[in-house]
Structure 1
Amino acid sequence: MASKDWLSSRRAEVAADRILDAAGELFADHPASGVGMNDIARAAGCSRATLYRYFENREVLYTAYVHRESFRLYEQMNELTGGIPDPRERLLHGLTTSMRLVRESPALSSWFATADSPIGAEMAEQSEVIQALTSGFLLSLHQDAPDVVHRRARWLVRVLTSLLIFPGRDAEDERAILEEFVVPMMCPSETDSAVATSSLHTDRDSST
């Protein structure tokens, strides 16, 4: 009985993946916000009834797709940056690599297309999976209190989605922006911490 249940679960997983693959092919050719359930059912070669058996509505399907691709992108980014020993350099390389991977994927880049309503930012902001992956990456670079890491992760997701929707002049411009404004906040060095502490004491002294 257990074996039969496992096989049934595995078949459902394969079927769901095929549907998400079909959705990804549509996203590569059309803005994600314009792809509907009818389009996905036709692309997957299944009926609407079958599609809704696995994904009860478009929001659920979109969320499943975003989460699956987020895990894949996170694994790729870690493979490409895991050997960098310096936390700040790894952070900077991780951010620029993540944006490059999104832009190189026609399916993922369509989520941030400005020609239509860019739903990628909204999905990223609402996704607990993306927030958790971002928090985990930050914790691997610099240990801090969970609530601090969570706030930084939320802010970092917003920064990256903003750059994906409104890119810098070029890759070097974006790298300079991230290096100057994001890296010191996400992964402060001893110098950054000392400057911040000194500024805090100065502000307190001036207010007394």
Structure 2
Amino acid sequence: MSWLADAKTELAAERILDAAGELFVRQGVDKPGMDELARAAGCSRATLYRYFENRQALIYAFAHREARLITKQVAGATAYEADPGKRAVDAVVACLAAVRERPHLQAWYAGDSNVLRDVLQESPIIRGSAQSYLTSEDEPSDPDLADWILRIILSFLTNPGEDEEAERRLLERFLSATSRS
């Protein structure tokens, strides 16, 4: 396959994921089936299945694409913080802000959908992103801490504090102390 074909494949997958994002905003993440997703993307169902073997694969691809964008944003916000506790707090605050500023992600945590919880629990890519916020190259990784951070993020998304300062205060009080022990 030539490099041009690879670029077209990537562009087609991105177009499908963009259409899925728009559909998720209108209907929620749980609602649209593969037929609706194909129609929204302007392709056949067979074409959709060529790029995503099933609905779950499409949902994970969408979540992973968003996670990569958010991880870059969070990395920029935490790059110069040497203290692990402060870096973890800054990372969670930056992650919450990045998710909240993307209206197409609101369907993932609003209402009673469990899709975001399931993706956070099962995705090694998202878990790895969370882990990268918590440790530097010379620090050992702690998968339990990454799991806890993802639970905190989900908790604040589904049940926000009164404002960012209140959330930061809670994070500083409990997360900074925990990440040092």
| TM-score normalised to structure 1 length | 0.80
Residues of 2 paired with 1:140 and 1:180: CA distance?
22
Q: How does 1:152-163 map to 2 (within 5 A)?
A: 152-163=145-156
Q: Could you tell which deviates more after superposition, 169-178 or 78-87?
A: 78-87
Which residue of the partner structure matches residue 174 of structure 1?
167
Alpha-carbon contact 2:84-2:135 (below 8 Å) kept = no
User: 1:69-109, CA deviations, whole angstroms, 9 ceiling, x for partnerless residues?
Assistant: 10110001112332345443332122111111111111112
The reply to whether residue 6 of structure 1 matches residue 9 of structure 2 is no
Higher helix share: 1
Partner of residue 24, structure 1:
21
Give yes or no for contact 2:78–2:87 (8 Å, CA) kept in 1: yes
Percent identical among aligned pairs is: 40
Contact kept in structure 1, 2:127 and 2:147, CA below 8 Å: yes
Asked whether the 8 Å contact 2:87–2:134 carries over to 1, the reply is no
Paired position in structure 1 for 2:58: 61
Contact 1:29 1:106 in 2 (8 A): no
1:139–1:87 CA distance, 2 compared to 1 (3 A): closer
Give the number of the structure whose alpha-carbon radius of gyration is greater: 1
Q: Is the 8 A contact 2:92 2:149 kept in 1?
A: no
Aligned residues: 181
Cα gap change, 1:158 to 1:142, in 2 (>3 Å):
farther
* Residues in 2 aligned to 1:29 and 1:103: alpha-carbon distance in whole angstroms: 17
Change (3 A) 1:85 1:151: closer
TM-superposed deviation, 1:135: 1.3
2:68 pairs with 1:71: yes
Measured after TM superposition, the shift of residue 28 of structure 1 is 2.7
Q: CA deviation at 1:25?
A: 1.6
Structure 1 contact 118–165 (Cα < 8 Å) conserved? no
Q: 5+ residue gaps in structure 1? A: 194-208
Q: Distance in 1 between matches of 2:138 and 2:106?
A: 30
SS of the counterpart of 2:30? helix
What CA distance in whole angstroms lies between the structure 1 residues aligned with 2:168 and 2:114? Answer: 23
RMSD over aligned Cα atoms: 1.8
Amino acid at match of 2:86: E
2:87, 2:133 within 8 Å by CA — same for their partners in 1?
no
Structure 2 distance, partners of 1:80, 1:135, is: 15
* 1:121 is the counterpart of 2:117: yes
The whole-number CA distance in structure 1 between the counterparts of 2:27 and 2:177 is: 37
1:55 CA drift (Å): 0.6
Question: What are the equivalent positions in structure 2 for 1:42-53 lying under 5 Å apart?
Answer: 42-53=39-50
Gaps of 5+ in 2: none
Q: 1:104 to 1:142 in 2, by over 3 A?
A: farther
